[in-house]
């Protein structure tokens, strides 16, 4: 056992026991620096996941998302806007986590969880004074939802960093790029590209070979 443990790379956590799920857990743990996750909340969720049950991952992350959203609502009701905003930001991320390994992508609960994620993120930006302006980008007879972040550290005219998420990432979870950009005087534009986020889940817009 000791030899096997010694051979395992440091980034293979071995907490859930399924390599892809453990890799995704590491991804969400990396969001602690942006205030979008809490170590204890992530590890508690992981401890409840049964890798042999295809519904376990989405169920447990959804349970955590609902609990943290409830914390946000309770804090807001008591007038604790900062605490509420921070909890909403984490809840938004946990709703997204629930959708990564969802076994039924056409389940109505998928769209509902996605909408909850976006709603929590929007509430967080409002309460935390994050300079996020929702935008709708024209796209082939419809629109792609996104956000324009205006840097408070620069005059009105400044370079704009357009961020394209990779694969199944969402613009709301790419705040690490936004945080660094607006601190350095760049405005920033993020959006749900075709095949990503709510563009695929709510509108059915799929990936395309001439867009990366």
Tokens of 128: 């935390």
**pLDDT one-digit tens code per residue, 173-203:** 888 899 999 999 999 999 999 999 999 999 9
6 has pLDDT over 80 = no
Which strands make up the sheet holding 132-139, listed edge to edge? 132-139, 142-149, 187-191, 160-163
**pLDDT one-digit tens code per residue, 26-71:** 999 999 999 999 999 999 999 999 999 999 999 999 999 999 999 9
Structural domain range at position 26: 1-129
**What pLDDT does 1 receive?**
47
Q: What is the CATH number of the domain that holds 109?
A: 1.20.1440.110
* Residues 120 and 146 grouped into a single domain: no
**Higher per-residue pLDDT: 114 or 165:** 114
* Residues 45 and 135 grouped into a single domain: no
Q: Which of 129, 157, 181 is the last residue of a domain?
A: 129
Which letter does DSSP use for residue 188 in this model?
Answer: E
Using DSSP bridges, classify how beta strands 142-149 and 132-139 pair: parallel, antiparallel or unpaired. antiparallel
**pLDDT one-digit tens code per residue, 121-179:** 999 999 999 999 999 999 999 999 999 999 999 877 899 999 988 877 899 988 889 99
Mean pLDDT for all residues in the chain: 92
Q: Which of 86, 109, 129 is the last residue of a domain?
A: 129
Tokens of 194: 């075709």
* Residues 86 and 178 grouped into a single domain: no
* Residues 66 and 9 grouped into a single domain: yes
What is the band of 96 on the pLDDT scale with cuts at 50, 70, 90? Answer: very high
Please give the Cα distance from 32 to 93 (Å, whole number).
11
**pLDDT one-digit tens code per residue, 40-51:** 999 999 999 999
* Residues 7 and 83 grouped into a single domain: yes
* Residues 137 and 190 grouped into a single domain: yes
**What pLDDT does 159 receive?**
95
* Residues 114 and 144 grouped into a single domain: no
* Residues 99 and 170 grouped into a single domain: no
**What pLDDT does 185 receive?**
95
DSSP for 62-98, written as a single string: HHHHHHHHHHHHHHHHTT-HHHHHHHHHHHHHHHHHH
**What pLDDT does 30 receive?**
93
* Residues 108 and 151 grouped into a single domain: no
Query: Per the structure, how many domains does the chain have?
Result: 2
Share of the chain above pLDDT 90, in %: 75
* Residues 146 and 83 grouped into a single domain: no
**What is the SS3 assignment for 46?**
helix
* Residues 19 and 78 grouped into a single domain: yes
* Residues 108 and 21 grouped into a single domain: yes
Among 43, 44, 62, 49, smallest CA distance to 17 is for: 49
Contact criterion met (CB below 8 Å) for 132 and 147 = yes
**What pLDDT does 5 receive?**
55
Q: Which of 81, 107, 129 is the last residue of a domain?
A: 129
């Amino acid at each position: 056992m000791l030899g096997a443990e010694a051979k395992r790379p440091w980034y293979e956590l071995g907490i859930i026991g399924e390599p892809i799920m453990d890799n995704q857990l590491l991804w969400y743990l990396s969001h602690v620096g942006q205030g979008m996750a809490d170590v204890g909340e992530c590890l508690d969720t992981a401890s409840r996941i049964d890798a042999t049950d295809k519904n376990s991952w989405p169920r447990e992350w959804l349970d955590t998302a609902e609990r943290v959203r409830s914390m946000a609502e309770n804090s807001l009701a008591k007038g604790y806007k900062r605490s509420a905003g921070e909890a909403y930001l984490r809840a938004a991320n946990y709703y997204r986590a629930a959708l990564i390994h969802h076994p039924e992508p056409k389940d109505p609960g998928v769209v509902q969880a996605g909408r909850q994620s976006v709603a929590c993120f929007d509430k967080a930006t409002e309460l935390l004074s994050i300079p996020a302006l929702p935008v709708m980008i024209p796209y082939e007879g419809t629109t792609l939802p996104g956000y324009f972040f205006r840097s408070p550290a620069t005059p009105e005219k400044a370079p704009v960093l357009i961020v394209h998420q990779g694969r199944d990432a969402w613009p709301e979870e790419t705040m690490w790029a936004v945080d660094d950009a607006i601190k350095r005087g760049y405005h920033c534009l993020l959006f749900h590209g075709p095949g990503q986020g709510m563009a695929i889940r709510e509108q059915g817009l799929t990936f395309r070979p001439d867009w990366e």
